[in-house]
């Protein structure tokens, strides 16, 4: 194993553990969240406790991802990746070894904190291990396996909980985290931190408020908001249309499958020059907005078309957004940027459902979908108007 990566290409053996890390964080987040309420075997005794446990994981990520991203820049992304995976395994083992409400809270907090370490570190390594010409493909593949984790998490998690209770699911996650940590230790090369100039608070604020950071991060937050709303509220629309649990679950699977299939293709198109990050992100926002609009249509056509378009739109935005961030960030600050961008995604993950729920409470769910659709379409619509005005002026 070499101490530094080949700048021309990253061998597949170096990338697979990073893809597995992305799968692990997604599978752990959704696999447990989807099964806490219905199959907790007495561990979850109230809706308030359920809400607290769901918020605990995301809250830890919101607070700690920028911190661990900065740490990855300082000491190297590989140690933070390995430490996070080991901590994830240990936190999962806490509840796997003893079933008690207190340990469930501790395990969920530990998992969230650990994911905050290895998720931005994995993103930074995806960028560091691949040349600029392959950033789109690399992030597309990383996003694909993360989407697989989101898709399979509720399903496989439900099977595991059915077979052996919540403790079996935590046991599998403990083994998975440890296995990926060993795999990464063997296959991912040491990527030493790069020398960097001293950064003041003003320098950091200026970089994180620059359009090169804000635009892709806002797009990633918007995509995550649409995805979260689709996963959470399309089943509600399906039930209102008379669909059963299997059918509504299939609709959510369509959303996740579209996102997973589109991401690698979007990344390859970016690398080949067939698509620019700006145009692809704008198209993705419009597609996701159209999907939210379709979700207001009655019956199965509305649910399925909404799921497909939301999944396609978010699948376009995610790899292109991360590739744009990597292209505009100094290599020595990648961890910090990825951690901050992940924070933006977490805010979108929470803000989208809250917005839709608030509007739906005052009016209807269809109005909630429409409101978020307008928010997503605002930026690309404004860009199209400005482009059209510029063309008229040039004539």
> Residue 181 has what pLDDT?
96
Tokens of 154: 């509720």
Per the CB < 8 A criterion, the answer to whether 194 and 331 are in contact is yes
pLDDT digits (tens, 9 = 90+) for 341-366: 877 887 887 788 888 888 888 988 89
Give yes or no for a contact between 188 and 125, defined as CB atoms under 8 angstroms apart: yes
Question: Is the CB of residue 68 less than 8 Å from the CB of residue 116?
Answer: yes
Q: Percentage of the chain with pLDDT > 90?
A: 30
Q: Give 11's DSSP letter.
A: -
In terms of Cα–Cα distance, which of 252, 233, 238, 256 is closest to 371?
A: 233
pLDDT of residue 12: 72
Neighbours of 203 (CB within 10 A): 12
DSSP 8-state code for residue 76: -
C-alpha 242: how far from chain center? 31
Alpha carbons 90 and 230: distance in angstroms, whole number: 32
Lowest-confidence region among 150-164, 192-206, 280-294: 192-206
Where helices occur in 99-244 by DSSP H, the ranges are 101-128, 135-187, 201-208, 211-240
SS3 198: coil
Buried b (16+ CB within 10 A) or exposed e, 204-226: eeebbeeeebebbbbbbbbbbbb
Highest mean pLDDT among 4-18, 70-84, 318-332: 70-84
Instruction: Tell me how far apart the alpha carbons of residues 82 and 88 are, in angstroms, rounded to a whole number.
Output: 10
Tokens encoding 212: 């090169």
Query: pLDDT by residue (tens digit) across 127-175?
Result: 888 887 788 888 888 888 888 887 787 778 878 888 888 889 999 999 9
360-395 burial string, b = 16+ CB within 10 Å, else e? Answer: beeeebbebbbbbbebbbebbeeeeeeeeeeeeeee
Contact indicator for 349, 224 with CB cutoff of 8 Å: yes
Average pLDDT, the chain: 82
Q: What pTM value is reported for the model?
A: 0.75
pLDDT of residue 141: 87
pLDDT category of residue 392 using cuts at 50, 70 and 90: low
Please state, as a whole number, how many other Cβ atoms lie within 10 Å of the Cβ of residue 294.
20
Is the pLDDT score of 7 beyond 50?
no
pLDDT at 37 exceeding the cut of 70: no
- Per-residue model confidence (pLDDT) at position 1: 37
């Amino acid at each position: 194993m070499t101490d530094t990566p080949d700048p021309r290409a990253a061998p597949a053996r170096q990338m697979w553990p990073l893809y597995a890390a992305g799968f692990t964080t997604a599978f752990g987040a959704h696999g447990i969240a989807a099964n806490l309420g219905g199959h907790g075997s007495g561990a979850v005794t109230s809706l308030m406790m359920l809400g607290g446990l769901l918020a605990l994981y995301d809250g830890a990520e919101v607070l700690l991802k920028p911190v661990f991203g900065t740490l990855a820049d300082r000491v190297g992304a590989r140690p933070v990746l390995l430490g996070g995976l080991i901590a994830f395994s240990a936190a999962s083992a806490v509840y796997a070894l003893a079933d008690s409400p207190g340990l469930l809270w501790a395990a969920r907090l530990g998992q969230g904190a650990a994911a905050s370490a290895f998720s931005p570190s994995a993103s930074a390594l995806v960028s560091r291990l691949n040349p600029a010409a392959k950033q789109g493909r690399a992030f597309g593949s990383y996003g694909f396996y993360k989407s697989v984790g989101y898709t399979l998490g509720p399903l496989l998690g439900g099977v595991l909980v059915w077979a052996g209770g919540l403790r079996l699911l935590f046991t599998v996650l403990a083994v998975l985290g440890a296995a990926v940590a060993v795999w990464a230790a063997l296959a991912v090369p040491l990527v030493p931190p790069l020398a960097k100039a001293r950064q003041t608070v003003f320098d950091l604020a200026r970089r994180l408020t620059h359009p090169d950071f804000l635009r892709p991060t806002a797009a990633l937050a918007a995509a995550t908001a649409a995805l979260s709303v689709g996963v959470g509220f399309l089943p509600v629309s399906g039930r209102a249309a008379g669909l059963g649990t299997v059918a509504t679950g299939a609709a959510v699977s369509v959303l996740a499958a579209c996102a997973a299939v589109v991401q690698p293709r979007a990344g390859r198109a970016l690398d080949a020059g067939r698509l620019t990050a700006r145009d692809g992100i704008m198209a993705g926002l419009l597609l996701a907005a159209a999907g939210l609009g379709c979700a207001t249509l009655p019956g199965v056509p509305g649910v399925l078309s909404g799921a497909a378009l939301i999944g396609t739109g978010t699948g376009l935005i995610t790899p292109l957004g991360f590739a744009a961030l990597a292209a505009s960030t100094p290599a020595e600050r990648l961890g910090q940027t990825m951690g901050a961008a992940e924070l933006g995604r977490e805010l979108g993950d929470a803000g989208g459902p809250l917005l839709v729920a608030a509007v739906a409470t005052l009016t209807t769910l269809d109005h909630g979908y429409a409101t978020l659709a307008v928010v997503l379409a605002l930026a690309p619509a404004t860009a199209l108007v400005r482009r059209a005005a510029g063309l008229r002026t040039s004539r």
